[in-house]
Structure 1
Amino acid sequence: MPSDFNQQIIQEFRANRGKVGGPFEGARLLLLTTTGARTGVRHVTPLACLPDGGRTLVIASAGGAPANPAWYHNLLANPRVTVEDGQRTYEAEAAVLEGEERDLLFARAAEADPGWSAYQARAGRVIPVIALTPLDAPHPVNLTHIPATAEESSAVLAEMGAMRTHRPRLPADADLTPVLPDTGGVAGSWVTAPHHPAAETGVTIYVHGGGFQFTDPELEQIMAYRLSRVTGRPVLRVDYRLAPAHRYPAALDDVVAVYRSLLDQNVPASRIILSGESAGGTLVLSALLVLKEAGVPLPHAALAISPQTDLTLSSPSIEANDGEDVVSRAVLDHVATQYLAGARPDQAPQSPLHGRLDGLPPLLLAVGSKEVLLDDARRFAEAVSAAGGTVSLDVYEGMPHAFHATVLSDRPLPVATTLLHRVAEWIGETRQRPTEGPDSALPTGD
């Protein structure tokens, strides 16, 4: 691109916090500052980029030209670079990727945008892929491995199967009385365990799983009851619209509308917890990005169990755990196709990993080590950490997708008890003493 055109993009990028118009409207860009290999002069170049866990990838395509671009030669000579992503500026170490790692990541980029393949076809060289790793120390991921024996793993699978024929029942002391009158025009139901009045505790929003396509209100009410006990507040189960009849962004819009409705009814954001499982976990993380972009106050904390964070299906565990999990790559591909309905899988908020992850509330992610979505959770946790966020990642050894469903049982297995204990412990760590003032009491509704 001509230097004057580059300069126009740079100015627009900086003026609009990373957003530009024209031919690059909606594209994910960064500004890369390198040091001239011969002159020592600093040069700023706008580049397309791809997130990859706690690092960012750039591709030295030069529009398919036969020679590598000048910025690439500069970082070979001095791999210490400066990155501007529209939200922050940081120092990074550039590393040229080689072999299988390079090929896999270039293929991922080309799948999302065929233009990369066209550049490679006419370049007459192997186009380099470069990883930019921040040098500033991020908040570390609070990683906890939850051990389990082979017998415990087998018991979880047996319990999950048994629930198909012997369905657990909602405890008799569950209170289904509506706590607040409005849910933003979205269907939903309230479930409260005993001794947790809304005026003292706040609200937990629960977004169910089911591949964006299915719902089981009876079992979801039990999950809401368990969440009410461990979070210490009433739970609003969101009955969001389902694919394929209602595709992206219908479900996401519903979750956001429910959250906004609580704020409109004077529930402080600081007393709201967002929680979700599987597809619901994806929707929770997506909703955080939508709310942040809109300048809406974010919830106190968010819980996502086994979320899918990258709908490009690029996480290594999707291949490594295929056949080990109750969910397969084929299932994920079907789910993404039904949900997205043509929306790009490499963009946020539909794929939360591809969003700007700074400024999020404290997060707890839980996932089984045998899940195909293991690395979706891991990569997202690392990316939030790299963006300066506070995130805990619990990995339950030997557990498949939906292992958390065992908390529904009348006699929960040890892994279910551990999960509930971990959530309660995490809530205790994040809870702050309510401040006195206008928001110190919540309406109870009629």
Structure 2
Amino acid sequence: MTTPFVDFNQQVIEEFRANHGRVGGMFEGARLILLTTTGARTGRPHTTPVGFLPDPGRLLVIASAGGADRHPAWYHNLVANPRVTVETGLFTLVADAVVLEGAEREEIWARAVESDPGWAQYQRKTARVIPVVALHPVRMSHADLPEGGLLKLMRQEDRLTANRVTGPDTFDTVLTALSAGPPPLPPGADTSEPFTLPVPGRWANASGRAPQEAGVVLYVHGGGFEQRMPAFEHPMAYHLSKAAGRPAFNVDYSLAPEHPFPVAHDEVVTAYRALLAEGVPAERTVLVGESAGATLVLEMLLTLRAEGVALPGAVVPVSPITDFTLTNPSIDAPAGRDAVGREVLEHVVGQYLNGRPNDQAPQSPIHGDLAGLPRMLLVVGGDEALLDDSRRYAEAAAEAGVEVTLDVYDGMPHAFHIAVLPDPQLPVGATFLKRLSAWLGEDR
């Protein structure tokens, strides 16, 4: 016989799994995971919805039990058996649980209370010290993998790092902030040309360094292969330059439908080759593309490798189309009000390919051989129609031996990173730039 609490928990679990990590009612908008522990007495699996805090490389959970005088059952279970399973809605993780103590526990607890004062209320209700637990991922699988897929991903575990990035922004806050248009470049911003490239574009340098010494961000804009918005793109290049610590060049490639594939593709390849010819080190070059530009960036890697050209040191595709067959499930089931859906994508593919095959590389990057490509930071919104394009490309690249970090920004739409432009900068934009800088690390 089940209790009302057990029935309620089961309803939440079913809703969470059916909606890729989202639930309504009292938990709407909450950060939830499903935590499966092994019963300390029974040895049977027990699944419980719990709140979490994101932290680099791990998830943090708090055994509040609503302020009850006893620790929750799941806490006793993971103390006895620290190996647990975590469902995020996007991925399923096997993780090791570590109970935090001392100064580390106090630091995390203070952060938790700052983000949600309800934790402090729970602590005031009980004499016990509420435990804080860190969940360290051991391996990961895609939530929608068919049976047998886990073994394939286990071979990738050292190559693919997936992060669910959460924050206060929503589709509406991003849209509202951008409605005023892009701000101008800061006064005195360096837009001088250190040298001329054979492809049109604009320089922006917030680093104070020379391309031959610092390297270059080669920034390839979005717009469905048929639009450009210089007023937005030039400030974006400046922000990327500042975050990456090197000058940025924003490529003005030719647009479809007048110039279908491979015209733009060839132009971005030419721009990259020209940078190398000017003495810019390949290993100090970072390719950053958004939307259609991210697709072009992934395309050009395959061509550069085939032609024996030294590959860039790092690649950052944001919201790319990686499979022009448009067969990924998220295209027809975006979680939010993404402006890019099947109708838009079918138009984009038709204009760009102009009758060329949609299941061949380089134009459809996931259909190519991805072995030997540079390390990648794939960035995508959790509410995007193109979410699966990034997830499945990340898995394929990792399987081919590429070092991949996949950042899924919870609740964000297609190409949300444009939130770096408003002044003051939105939290999600600031987070994107900070994570880019941190990911580049010593390569900045």
TM range (shorter): 0.5 to 0.7
1:170 is aligned, of 185, 193, 196, to 185
1:142 is aligned, of 161, 166, 170, to 161
1:297 is aligned, of 310, 328, 333, to 310
Write the letter of the residue equivalent to 2:238.
Y
Q: Which of structures 1 and 2 has the larger relative contact order (alpha carbons within 8 angstroms, sep 6+)?
A: 1
2:223 is aligned, of 210, 213, 216, to 210
Question: What pairs with 1:256-295 in structure 2 (closer than 5 Å)?
Answer: 256-295=269-308
Shift of 1:215: 0.5
In the other structure, the counterpart of 1:155 is 173
Write the letter of the residue equivalent to 1:145.
R
Secondary structure in 1 matching 2:411: coil
In the other structure, the counterpart of 2:5 is none
2:244 is aligned, of 206, 231, 240, to 231
- Please tell me the root mean square deviation across aligned C-alpha atoms, in Å: 2.2
Q: Is the 8 A contact 1:170 1:218 kept in 2?
A: no
Shift of 1:395: 0.4
Distance 2:231 2:337 in 1: 29
Which consecutive segments of 4 or more residues in structure 1 shift more than 6 A?
A: 130-133
2:213 is aligned, of 200, 206, 216, to 200
Secondary structure in 2 matching 1:364: strand
In the other structure, the counterpart of 2:194 is 179
Gaps of 5+ in 2: 1-143
Distance 2:404 2:149 in 1: 23
**Pair 1:344-2:357 in alignment:** yes
Distance 2:303 2:401 in 1: 19
Write the letter of the residue equivalent to 2:172.
S
Write the letter of the residue equivalent to 2:262.
P
Q: Is the 8 A contact 1:406 1:412 kept in 2?
A: yes
Cα deviation, 1:275-298, whole Å, max 9, x if unaligned, reads 111100000000001101111110
Q: Is the 8 A contact 1:174 1:194 kept in 2?
A: no
Q: Is the 8 A contact 1:304 1:366 kept in 2?
A: yes
Question: What pairs with 1:243-254 in structure 2 (closer than 5 Å)?
Answer: 243-254=256-267
Inter-CA distance 131–394: structure 2 relative to 1 (3 Å threshold):
closer
Distance 2:288 2:207 in 1: 20
Q: Is the 8 A contact 2:153 2:395 kept in 1?
A: no
Q: Is the 8 A contact 2:336 2:383 kept in 1?
A: no
Shift of 1:337: 0.3
Question: What pairs with 1:385-404 in structure 2 (closer than 5 Å)?
Answer: 385-404=398-417
**Pair 1:363-2:381 in alignment:** no
Secondary structure in 2 matching 1:401: coil
Q: Is the 8 A contact 1:256 1:287 kept in 2?
A: yes
Distance 1:173 1:412 in 2: 19
Distance 1:402 1:159 in 2: 14
Shift of 1:386: 0.4
Shift of 1:157: 2.5
Shift of 1:167: 3.4
Distance 2:412 2:297 in 1: 22
Q: Is the 8 A contact 1:381 1:391 kept in 2?
A: yes
Shift of 1:173: 2.7
Shift of 1:146: 0.6
Range moving further from structure 2, 171-180 or 318-327: 318-327
Q: Is the 8 A contact 2:213 2:280 kept in 1?
A: no
Q: Is the 8 A contact 1:347 1:355 kept in 2?
A: yes
Q: Is the 8 A contact 1:284 1:304 kept in 2?
A: yes
Cα deviation, 1:230-280, whole Å, max 9, x if unaligned, reads 111111110100000100000000000000111112222111111111100
Paired residue total? 299
Inter-CA distance 187–294: structure 2 relative to 1 (3 Å threshold):
same
Q: Is the 8 A contact 2:336 2:411 kept in 1?
A: no
Cα deviation, 1:315-340, whole Å, max 9, x if unaligned, reads 11101117631211100000000000
Secondary structure in 1 matching 2:286: strand
Inter-CA distance 131–410: structure 2 relative to 1 (3 Å threshold):
closer
Distance 1:222 1:270 in 2: 25
Distance 2:395 2:423 in 1: 36
Q: Is the 8 A contact 2:212 2:278 kept in 1?
A: no
Distance 2:336 2:401 in 1: 35
